[in-house]
Amino acid sequence: MKQLLAAILMAGIVAPVSTMAHDDPWLWLENVEGENALAWARGQNERSLDHIQAHELFEPIHERALEILTSDDRIAYPALRGGEVYNFWRDDEHVRGIWRKTSLDSYRGESPDWDVILDVDALAEREERNWVWAGADCRYPDYDRCIVGLSVGGADAAVRREFDLQTREFVEDGFRLDESKSSITWRDHDSVFLGPAFTDEQMTDSGYPRTVRLWQRGTDLAEAETIFEGEKGDVGVFSARIHDGDDHYDVITRAPSFFSYEYYLFEDGQVKRLNVPEDADLAGVIDGQLLVDLKSDWTLGGRTFKQGALVAGPVGSFLEASPSLELLIQPGERQSIDGVDTTENAVLVNLLDNVNGKLLSFAREDGGWRQRELDVPEMGTISIVATDDRSNRFFYDYTGFLTPSTLFEADALAGSQREVRSEPAWFDAEGMEVAQFEAESADGTMIPYFVVMPREYEADGANPALLSAYGGFEVSRTPSYSGVTGSAWLERGGVYVLANIRGGGEFGPKWHQAALKENRQRAYDDLIAVSEDLIDRNVTSPDHLGIQGGSNGGLLVGAVMVQRPDLYNGVVCQVPLLDMKRFHKLLAGASWMGEYGNPDDPEQWAYISRYSPYQNVSAEADYPKAFFTTSTRDDRVHPGHARKMVARMLDQGHDVLYYENIEGGHGGAANLKQRAFLSGLIYAYLHDRLASEDAGEDED
């Protein structure tokens, strides 16, 4: 998501100009596939594409991006099921992709012998549907049947069909759901947990299922037994069977808000509430121990387990008033848990230490938990890719800004590991450097950020610099290698900056909670502080500084653009939230009120209205020529946000650019060719705005 806020003065925020609740002249642009709205979008596309595609760098960047994104030299990342390796793959021949598998021994070799299970391109051609792969849930433990998801154009809503891995055919009389945001997961051989979301009555205000039903094979969907029902105002209700060796637990999760949960155990036909804090995350089950990731302090029996800790206790004890807890890890002040996974006998914790990755392993020994730190590469990002619940084998990925992704196979207990494969260097990083700095935000908090410097870099204030951040939903932004960014930007003399602002999860729950609701402005202050620090250090200057963000990050860059247009000459705002008066009424927006607040509450609207970009954008301000992108098929963040913002700015006399992909979902692109095209547009725009000799000089 992205941010777009309003306030043009150097200090503080201007008051909102109007609520525009009923007199919004651009409301018709919220009609996603309305004839007039699509005609408007196509007209803006034509105008903007004519401008950007005329830039001399568009075609070479586009072609190189397509070469990188479709290369056979990319890592085919594994998923482990029943001792075999599964992978979903797209390339220039398979635009929509193929689902395939191979043996573990074959996968370890240089050229695995892949067995294609499902060709989505062929299926799309045969059924005359623009199918986009939406994942597969396979039946444990044999993995002989899967519920395959297929979306139209990349939307979150998808068709779900039962697929037979032996015959490689969809099961004619199997489980099947029409296009919707319904949920369906395997329970056992002949039943599934169903969360229907076809009608308003079945859905929450956020558009997700509000009931859990038990659907038996061979019965009509309407006959599925309701075993749990949430409230209309909930985010949603979901269910899954969690396997723990030969045991299993049926867990139902009710989410009253985005950051509050009620967990229930369904056993012997009864639903039993688990005694877990409402803001905690269930991180898994291993050897009968329930893992809980704490987002706030939890005091039990006179002992307090602190915010950010990972604790565990016997599953049955969570049905009691005081669960029996043990502490696995309490991260330090500049640390946070970035992920928890399990193997057969170990718990893997991906730990961020000052935004650099570490990997810890925990196993029960002599009635307690023993911790080991695994030997992984330093100063980069660690991501656990796949684990095996029948062994302690797992795969992890290592990457850094200048280090191509490398895949390792490791043992969680023995600590042994081997490099399986790595991607080639997509750009020449010789002479480039990475540094980590801090900027002081408005309230005195120090905000860390990374700077990737191209070769022959000099701190002369003339470097084109692209600053990216997210700052929301406890999502951490960490160093990663991008062949597209490297070849399109770094190799061509650009500086890349990644800011770890509040609202994210880089330093644990408190870092996220510091920018919630009435404190949202802190995230925007943080990005402004990093921008000013870059200028003070002569890394760049306002004529050469641009910002980029998507989704909540789109709200971020939109807000900062409106508040401090003097700092930037380029803004890339992708699939953004912008109209914060109506965000909760559009698609999945109601689910995000836990992050931003409720605009219908006058007290909460009072602080939301101060930064909402759509309400605060002004005809009197001098904004940089921003580039907004969205997708017609985005059914998570409504394309009306970007459409209406651009229409309002154009009406006010501002020069802005706009591109709407007619498909693509919340990612903005439905396939690799579309991703390459969008990359070409974005980086050509950035070079035009930030790297040209006349940067800072707009046409009349």
Q: Catalytic positions, please?
A: 551, 666
Q: How far apart are CA 584 and CA 587, in angstroms?
A: 8
Q: For residue 551, which amino acid is it?
A: S
Backbone angle region of 354, left / alpha / beta, with phi > 0 → left and psi within -120 to 50 → alpha = left
Tokens 């060719």 — which residue? 673
- Residues in CB range of 521: below 8 A, 6 or more apart: 13, 607, 610, 611
Among 309, 272, 271, smallest CA distance to 291 is for 309
Q: What are the strands, taking DSSP E only, across 461-528?
A: 465-468, 495-499
Tokens 């193929």 — which residue? 98
Backbone angle region of 328, left / alpha / beta, with phi > 0 → left and psi within -120 to 50 → alpha = alpha
Helix 672-686 × helix 58-69 angle, to 10°: 140
SS3 246: coil
Backbone CA torsion sign across 561, 562, 566, 567? negative
Complete edge-to-edge strand list for the sheet that includes strand 368-373: 335-342, 347-353, 356-365, 368-373
∠ CA 545-551-557 to the nearest 5 degrees?
25
Which residues partner with 131 through β-bridges? 152
- Residues in CB range of 143: below 8 A, 6 or more apart: 81, 82, 84, 165
**How is residue 626 annotated by DSSP?**
-
Complete edge-to-edge strand list for the sheet that includes strand 393-400: 381-387, 393-400, 403-411, 417-422
